[in-house]
Structure 1
Amino acid sequence: MKRALKLLLIVTVFVTVNQRTENIGNTQDLTITIEKGAKKESNSTRKPVFSGKRPSVDVAILLDTSNSMDGLIDQAKSQLWNIVQEFSKAKRKGKTPLFRVSVFEYGNSGLPAREGYIRQVVQLTDDLDKVSETLFSLSTNGGDEYCGAVIHEAVKRLDWSNEPNAYKAIFIAGNEPFTQGSIDYRSACKKAIGAGIVVNTIHCGDYRQGVKGKWKEGADLAEGEYLNIDQDKTVVHIKCPQDKVIIELNTELNKTYLWYGSKSTREAYATNQAVQDSNASSFGGLSSRAATKSGALYRNVGRDLVDTYDENKESILELKDADLPEEMHNLSADERLKKIKAMSKRRAEIKSKMAMVAKERQAYIDAEKAKLAKESGATTLGDAVSAAVQKQLKESGFDLKK
């Protein structure tokens, strides 16, 4: 089957969440094998440059929250921002994509049986703090894992981008047979690729057992990658000499956000940003999160005045005082814009410094990872997903900056 014009990445991630806060810092490494799925399109059939104002990248994360995958959810939490950074490298015709993420949970006996133990936790959103909040709020509870059903629901329910050359992705991984449930995984995967959705499957366990359980066939049917991991390996977090500076700059960056909406809404946005900084820090990933916040993918249009002003200046002038930060009440239109422009300039200065230090940090990490790879040969979940993402973004016509 030829790759459809719209490329969607669906990776099946069966994840079990550990809700015990005393264990939140325990992370696990994952040994991964990547095998090619169906034959990819040649350069002659590569998609043309996008036709919209901005290229689109949509990613849905499907997490198994039954009782068998506690280590994997910690890996997903700890490397969320590393994975996001891979997407931040992508550009099409010089433009950074509009990046949205959705989260589903399934396989949890606390979910309604009549709905296949599936729940859409968050719709496709560019609010990455909301995505992080969702991951850290999930809990586990036995159940039946229906891969075909959750893939089917993700394809059907989500408002996937209509951009002709969008890259769309769902992450789904686990260790139970891919064949369970009333919806045939083959029909679900064929429906996915028919809509331009690539399915990348992640089997947690023995490689051959995953093949036997039809994880590889699921990837092949939807022209994706079959990923094999050992979720019992321990993650090694690399401490960098640049971390202290990046974290200090992150504190300054947070001060530049001018949240708007009702008072409770503004407070919720500010609080959640701080909470997700803390969540990332608990896994040793605050520097990675901060580095992501310095780039174009971390955006808060519709929530923050500075980001919204860059997209729609007129909408700012239409806001009522009650929906503005208190320090902006009773300002004239000119005074309001002057305040926003000043904060925008300040944010740009901080982001520029963060980006420069983050680049130095990444070079340090790459060198350290090369050493660790020679010693252990282990690959983490984030590294495996990143490899698949890099390959498929290129195949779908994105340029990846070095």
Structure 2
Amino acid sequence: MKRIVLLCILFTTLTAAIGCMLEARNMKTSTEPAGAPVVSAVTAKKTKIQVAILLDTSGSMQGLIEQAKSRLWNIVNTLTTLKYKGETPDIEIALYEYGNYKQYDGDYIRRITPLTVDLDLISKELFALTTSGSEEYCGTVIQRAVKELEWGNDKADMKLVYIAGNEEFTQGSISYKTAIAKALEKDIFVNTIHCGSEDIGIRDFWQDAALRGNGKFFNIDANATVRAIKTPFDPQIILCNDKLNDTYIGYGAVGKERKVNQTVQDRNAGSISSANYTERAVSKSKAIYKNTSWDLVDKVKEDKDALSRIKKEELPEELRSKSPEELKTFITQKEQERSLIQKEISELAIKRQIYIDEQLKKEGENKGDDLGNAITESILAVAKVKGYTAE
């Protein structure tokens, strides 16, 4: 009898203890003590637009490279018009070359840049490209881009591959069908740009590759000169660009070199045409043109505590004697100055685009069949499918 009573008491005590534990757990999950920090279970990620451009740099493709140089900033400016649910996505671009006899990894393929926001780097590498060779392994370069690059994994991310060239799509040991299947697993759209006639592009499987990759198939004249439309607003935008460069403050080991490169890429754009120079200046007025790795203004804008971690010897010599408060004031002034210049460029860019659209309308909107037009056309088409809107 005593044993039964003891068991009953033990059972009652255990039940009460479990009840208290459950109640405490429920209170912990439903309420927090006053002043406790709110921790989000999911960190919001910014939507990305990622574009990998795979260029055939074999012996016959110098014209294609020239078109890429001429159209880089136009492509960038098209990308900056896109928004997802009202927000501007991050934009990253990668470059590959294939078909070159410089023996890159034994398959004539080189990853020139990873997916990057560093547009000056993309420009620098484009202007350094040369042609040589004739072995174009389309399947291999697609597979490498799909595997090597850090693609986003958000459903809303827009991920695009553009491969441009002129030989049979079936060359190499890796089938383009296998490579494209891998791309689709990551929701990457594969677009093909055949440098030649439509019938040859179809015969050599460029069209089939685009169909399999949920992308678009284009034919362009790789040797055509990209048409540049001058506008009355170009000189003023170019003047603004010169003022804009003065607001950049290089810091760290690469600051001075990268600031010089900024000016070099201005000159490279201008070597194509004044219109191309203007397109680059317009790109530099957009949020996409970020240089946090070397520019103090962009760095402090991104990280307000950055100055506390930057050593005096990493600053330009003329700023090393300034106190922390003086330095902060100086950078704030440069940021405000930059913002006003970028606003002026943006306003001029709108007038410039209206002028260009009117000129194209007068001439029947014959934009030509070049690399840039092929890429911008498909970007807008895929954007519509993915739920993006264009300003």
TM-score range, shorter chain: 0.7 to 0.9
Change (3 A) 1:64 1:100: same
- Which of 322, 327, 333 lines up with 1:336 in the alignment? 327
1:388 aligned partner: 378
* Structure 2 residue 90 is the aligned partner of structure 1 residue 101: no
1:5 aligned partner: none
Q: Is the 8 A contact 2:56 2:97 kept in 1?
A: yes
The more displaced of 195-204 and 335-344 is 335-344
What is the rounded CA distance, in whole Å, between the counterparts of 1:117 and 1:385 in structure 2? 24
Q: Give the AA of the match of 1:273.
A: Q
* Structure 2 residue 137 is the aligned partner of structure 1 residue 146: yes
* Structure 2 residue 357 is the aligned partner of structure 1 residue 398: no
Change (3 A) 1:309 1:199: same
* Structure 2 residue 67 is the aligned partner of structure 1 residue 78: no
Q: State, as a whole percentage, how many aligned pairs show the same letter.
A: 42
Q: Give the AA of the match of 1:394.
A: K
1:124 aligned partner: 115
How far the C-alpha of 1:162 sits from its partner, in A, is 3.6
SS in 2 for 1:313: coil
SS in 1 for 2:221: strand
* Structure 2 residue 60 is the aligned partner of structure 1 residue 68: yes
1:3-402 to structure 2, matched below 5 A, reads 52-112=44-104, 115-262=106-253, 265-284=254-273, 285-373=276-364, 378-401=368-391
Structure 1, unpaired ranges of 5+: 1-49
How far the C-alpha of 1:390 sits from its partner, in A, is 0.8
How far the C-alpha of 1:380 sits from its partner, in A, is 3.0
What is the rounded CA distance, in whole Å, between the counterparts of 1:184 and 1:52 in structure 2? 38
**Greater RCO between the two (CA within 8 Å, min separation 6)?**
1
Q: Is the 8 A contact 1:66 1:107 kept in 2?
A: yes
How far the C-alpha of 1:94 sits from its partner, in A, is 2.6
How far the C-alpha of 1:335 sits from its partner, in A, is 2.2
Q: Deviations over 1:175-196 (max 9, x none)?
A: 1011110000000011101111
How far the C-alpha of 1:51 sits from its partner, in A, is 7.8
More helix per residue: 2
Q: Is the 8 A contact 1:101 1:125 kept in 2?
A: yes
How far the C-alpha of 1:334 sits from its partner, in A, is 2.2
Q: Give the AA of the match of 2:294.
A: R
Q: Is the 8 A contact 1:59 1:100 kept in 2?
A: yes
The more displaced of 270-279 and 390-399 is 390-399
How far the C-alpha of 1:170 sits from its partner, in A, is 2.3
Q: Is the 8 A contact 2:55 2:97 kept in 1?
A: yes
How far the C-alpha of 1:282 sits from its partner, in A, is 0.8
Q: Give the AA of the match of 1:305.
A: L
How far the C-alpha of 1:124 sits from its partner, in A, is 1.4
Change (3 A) 1:377 1:393: closer
2:18 aligned partner: none
Q: Which ranges of 4 or more aligned residues in structure 1 deviate by more than 6 Å?
A: none
What is the rounded CA distance, in whole Å, between the counterparts of 2:230 and 2:288 in structure 1? 24
TM-score, normalised with respect to structure 1: 0.83
Q: Is the 8 A contact 2:193 2:374 kept in 1?
A: no
Q: Is the 8 A contact 1:51 1:164 kept in 2?
A: no
What is the rounded CA distance, in whole Å, between the counterparts of 1:312 and 1:64 in structure 2? 40
1:42 aligned partner: none
Measured on the aligned residues, the alpha-carbon RMSD in Å equals 1.7
Q: Give the AA of the match of 1:266.
A: G
How far the C-alpha of 1:377 sits from its partner, in A, is 7.0
How far the C-alpha of 1:244 sits from its partner, in A, is 0.5
1:27 aligned partner: none
What is the rounded CA distance, in whole Å, between the counterparts of 2:138 and 2:373 in structure 1? 23
Structure 2, unpaired ranges of 5+: 1-41
